[in-house]
Structure 1
Amino acid sequence: MPAKPDHAALARIALAHITRIYPHSGQQRLKSAADWHPPEQAHPLFCGSYDWHSCVHSHWLLVRVLNRAPELPEAAAIRQRLGQITDDAVAAEITTFERQGQGFERPYGWAWLLMLQAELLRSSEPTARRGAATLQPLADLIHRRLLDYLPRLLYPIRSGQHNNTAFALLLCLEYARMAQDQQLERLLRERSLTWFADDRGCPAWGEPSGEDFLSPTLQQAVLMQQVMDGNTFATWLNDFLPDLAAQQPATLFRPVSVSERSDGKLAHLDGLNLSRAWCWFQLSATWPTLLAVAEAHLAAAINHLEDDYMGSHWLPTFAMLAQQAASEHA
């Protein structure tokens, strides 16, 4: 097993790019040329890290590191960055959300913003607590949009990329529980069970797909683990993946290969190994034999976090998720 980057190493990678504006890939819906804004104006808080959602979840990584290891030398830079969460910056972010319409960053960016807010709320650090209070209006906007959107989404999106429904619900559930938002938690649980509780005999025949960074099968399984009690989930998982003990379908259990890490879409597959590892570690609480599968997926990607900026601007977040799950379940 390769040496795993520690909290300090992950923080250093994120700190190097959260304020790096270019290269930039961002959504802007334009009615005229006057509607275009450079990234630092449209998103004064989250304009770095290549795109908005990567900048948001890189901030989550930094707060997570601060909460876990506040004594690290990198903690001072993290606190300084959190001091940039100001009323004016959040107001500008909200203005951009409103200008871009209901679909902006839905659901991936929404989910990560709520994950960030959950981690800020969890913190005992004064800078993080102030940041949580300042960021709450944006979290409230996303809360309102979720309450409107989820009942209108008739069918879950089972892709391996940003619009995966199960992944978004899983992250939003973290926020709902941390914020003690019972209304949101009830909706997330109801939608999860409505969409996924009756699924049986998942073939996982479409996995992996060539540009995936999420496993639809495993994201769904971990979501069910969160909304069902232990016995009910064990029964459900046995029905959903009836050949799990035999590690079938095999493509779900084998780490994937990456052909080109400078291609942002192909580099997604490093993220798939990391997100699969995150899921397998969690599922090992029910099936301990899955630990080896989780470790193999983590090993396949952990030494490639900085091979190219197309990966380094986001992969450390998923490395943090995987290593966090490993420490809790290994």
Structure 2
Amino acid sequence: MSRFCLDSDTAARFARIALGHVRQEFPHKLDHVLGSDEDAQPPHVLHPIFFGSFDWHSSVHGWWTLLTLRRLFPDTDEARAIEKLADQSFTAEKVGTELAYLKRPLSRGFERPYGWAWLLQLHLEASRHSESWAPELEPLARAFADRLSEHLPALTYPIRVGTHFNTAFALVLSLEWAEQFDEDLAAAIRERAKHWFENDRDCQAWEPGGDEFLSPALIEALCMSRILPEPEFVTWFGGFLPKLDLGQPATLFSPAVVSDRSDGKIAHLDGLNLSRAWCWTSLAPLLPAEEAQLAYDTAEAHLEAAMSHVAGDYMGEHWLASFALLALLANDT
């Protein structure tokens, strides 16, 4: 039994963190290609919904955090603040401006694939609420789904780095949306994941890299657990990590050391610890008893290393609560 859980106090803390940054415009790191002087605009003009949280994708998953917490803990002051802010933010006019940005010729690769996948997750979460947020956001979600549908067959090789470009992570988030809203896309995701990963064996797990917030090994395993039937996944996973019972590769079981949380890239490693906890906790129920316990123990160690650092420095604070929430939601299932 983990000592970390999504209780009301933790939920309120995460909600206050996200409420504090989704409307904070600066500092800001734009994913923006300029074609002329006229394109030099501030974030709130380019992105009237997702202008906070240091960058566009962090704003999107900051909103996912807020809506998820509002659904799970609806009778709180934070939930009421989230509802009011969402009503002000998710409007047809503002979504239209976000869509117009995507139609710029220079925006083809905007936020690919990480921001795409998180926007689909946000729309999926919005659909679990009775307000008009999901219908308002759906055109934006459909636009990103169309981009993903076009991109999957064009991507000859998967991207395996542990940062925003990771293919498997985007597939995990996008598949959950597609299974509800676009079965053709869901089928394409399953087909490409099998094409890219089905024959992977004896993963060496040379990680972490110095700026990674995802485990390339574990996020691939999580992806395969979502697209393969359980018996097939168990066989695949046994070949992918054949020495799991021996605690090998050892790199997957040791939390990353974060030397400087004011450095945005090094601070990614707190996210690695949280996302590994999410992956290990999600995979554990599919494993034999001893290996499952190892997975749960490893997840706990990673949570222990990271949970106290979700807030404190803006380089982590603008995004880490989302990954902490992923891990705690896996703990609670």
TM-score, structure 2 normalization: 0.95
The 2-side partners of 1:311 and 1:298 are apart by 15
Aligned with 1:302 (options 289, 302, 307): 307
Residue 24 of structure 2, aligned match among 17, 20, 27:
20
**Counterparts of residues 171-210 of structure 1 (less than 5 Å):** 171-179=173-181, 181-205=182-206, 207-210=207-210
Question: Following TM superposition, by how much is the alpha carbon of 1:36 offset from its aligned partner in structure 2, in angstroms?
Answer: 1.4
Other-structure match for 1:231: 231
Task: Give TM-score scaled by structure 1 length.
Answer: 0.95
Match of 2:107 among 86, 101, 118: 101
Aligned partner of 1:66 in structure 2 is 70
Contact 2:4–2:328 (CA<8 Å) still a contact in 1?
no
Read off the aligned partner of 2:276 and give its amino acid letter: R
How far apart are 1:122 and its partner, in Å? 2.2
Residues 123-149 of structure 1, C-alpha deviations (whole Å, 9 max, x = no match)? 2x32xxx01101111111111111111
Output the amino acid matched with 1:147. Answer: S
Instruction: Give the corresponding residue for 2:172.
Output: 170
Which letter does structure 1 place at the counterpart of 2:44? E
Instruction: Give the distance between the partners of 1:81 and 1:113, measured in 2 at CA.
Output: 18
Change (3 A) 1:3 1:236: closer
Amino acid aligned to 2:98: E
SS of the residue 2:77 aligns to: coil
Structure-2 separation of matches of 1:242 and 1:150:
29
- AA aligned to 2:151 is Y
Whole-Å separation in 1 of the counterparts to 2:253 and 2:230: 23
For the Cα contact (< 8 Å) 1:214–1:275, is it kept in 2?
yes
Match in the other structure for 1:92 = 97
Matches within 5 A, 1:244-255: 244-255=244-255
The residue aligned with 2:274 is 274
Cα deviation per residue 1:173-221 (whole Å; 9 max; x = unaligned)? 1111232x1111000100111000111111112x011000001100000
What is the CA distance between 1:225 and its match in structure 2? 0.4
**1:142 matches 2:158:** no
Separation in 1, partners of 2:96, 2:183: 26
Is the Cα–Cα contact under 8 Å of residues 201 and 241 in structure 2 kept in the other structure? yes
Match for residue 113 of structure 1?
119
CA 1:3–1:111: 2 relative to 1, 3 Å:
closer
Q: Is the 2:67–2:82 Cα contact (8 Å) retained in structure 1? A: yes
What count of residue pairs does the alignment treat as equivalent? Answer: 322
Kindly provide the amino acid, as one letter, of the partner of residue 119 in structure 1: E
Q: Show the 5 A alignment for 1:15-54.
A: 15-54=19-58
% identity of equivalent residues: 48
Q: 1:178 to 1:6 in 2, by over 3 A?
A: farther
Gaps of 5+ in 1: none
Give a deviation string over 1:249-293, Cα, whole Å, max 9, x none.
101111111000000000000000000000000011122221111
Structure 1 distance, partners of 2:101, 2:331, is 37
Distance in 2, Cα, partners of 1:209 & 1:298: 19
CA distance in 1, matches of 2:227, 2:60: 26
Residue type of the alignment partner of 2:70: L
CA RMSD in angstroms, aligned pairs only:
1.2
Matched letter for residue 53 of structure 2: S
In 2, the alpha carbon distance for the partners of 1:178 and 1:295 equals 32
The answer (yes or no) to whether the contact 1:120–1:131 under 8 Å persists in 2 is: yes
Identify if the C-alpha distance between structure 1 residues 279 and 3 changes in structure 2 by more than 3 Å, giving closer, same or farther: closer
Counterpart-to-counterpart distance in 1, 2:313 and 2:265: 12
Match of 2:296 in 1: 291
Partner Cα distance (1:296, 1:73) in 2: 32
Q: Give 1:240 deviation, angstroms.
A: 0.2
CA drift of 1:32 comes to 1.3
Aligned-partner Cα distance in 2 for 1:176–1:262? 37
Q: Which runs of 5+ in 2 are unaligned?
A: none
Does the 8 Å CA contact 1:2/1:302 hold for their aligned counterparts? no
